[in-house]
Structure 1
């Protein structure tokens, strides 16, 4: 078996088995539609104002897990770790309902709202989920939080549809993206 990891930065996790080859992105949507990219980026910057950056990263990670966006998941887990978030809390976020004791009630309310807004299973955000979030966030913060959730969902949809390749992001590469 080959141990060639030249196309990946897996120095910390290299094993005796070769990794699957990277897929090729379908397109470079940011290059093809720079005005759209800039507009979503501006929304991103505006949406997070006034919110705790650590909370924002948890929201982005959870939405990216739900949307199966490997590129955004790679980016936001790295950003969260660089900002001091624990690996344990990031890993357990996928099972937050069973590992609630790792998160504050405020974080749990934000994560639950993230799921409701991201999935929209029943076509709406349940009143109980919204009211729980409203107990932990004032109206301005709640508005900003919903904007962050909507924005990461936009990024996820571009990432998944265009098949952006995860694994090459370094924290700080995109100042606010």
Structure 2
């Protein structure tokens, strides 16, 4: 998939791009690669970032993610294909992406139970990173100039 950009934010601020890429890599280093990609894909779906969605579905496949699960990701709550840890990660990703409602105590507690403190910290930073990438990607993309959700 080719996404047309109206502004190459990476070329205009390469040091910031490099710092963001390093931050993203450090955040995900404490997670199973498949879980990291699932939360990146889910946040990108919610944010309507076609560029990140394309990039991270490919990365999920390379991390060994099953095509059936990628197709079911948008409706993961109703799918038997996701385990407890993945469900906890996806619930947290959705709550952190739609931050207006806050992160419910139960969602936070379940993620903490599944990932422990260090894993939860890495998960939260990974979710924060993909949300930042999504916002920059949507703003810089000519294909998404009419608002999020147009590409999904």
User: TM-score surpassing 0.5?
Assistant: yes
Given the superposition, is the C-alpha separation of residues 82 and 160 from structure 1 closer, same or farther in structure 2, using an over 3 Å criterion? same
RMSD value over aligned CA atoms? Answer: 1.7
- Aligned partners of 1:79, 1:69: CA distance in 2, in Å? 15
Q: Which has the higher helix share?
A: 2
- Give unpaired runs (5+ residues) of structure 2: 145-152
Matching of residues 48-127 of structure 1 within 5 Å: 48-99=28-79, 101-122=80-101, 124-127=102-105
1:157 equivalent in alignment to 2:135: yes
Runs of 4+ in structure 1 deviating by more than 3 angstroms, as ranges, are none
Aligned length: 144
Question: CA 1:31 to 1:88, structure 2 compared with 1: closer, same or farther past 3 Å?
Answer: same
Structure 2 length-normalised TM: 0.89
Tell me by how many angstroms 1:86 deviates: 1.0
Question: Is residue 148 of structure 2 the alignment partner of residue 148 of structure 1?
Answer: no
TM normalised by structure 1 equals: 0.77
| TM-superposed deviation, 1:26 | 1.3
Distance 2:7 2:121 in 1: 32
> Given that residues 3 and 51 in structure 2 are in contact (C-alpha distance below 8 angstroms), is that contact kept between their aligned partners in structure 1?
no
The Cα shift of 1:84 comes to 1.9
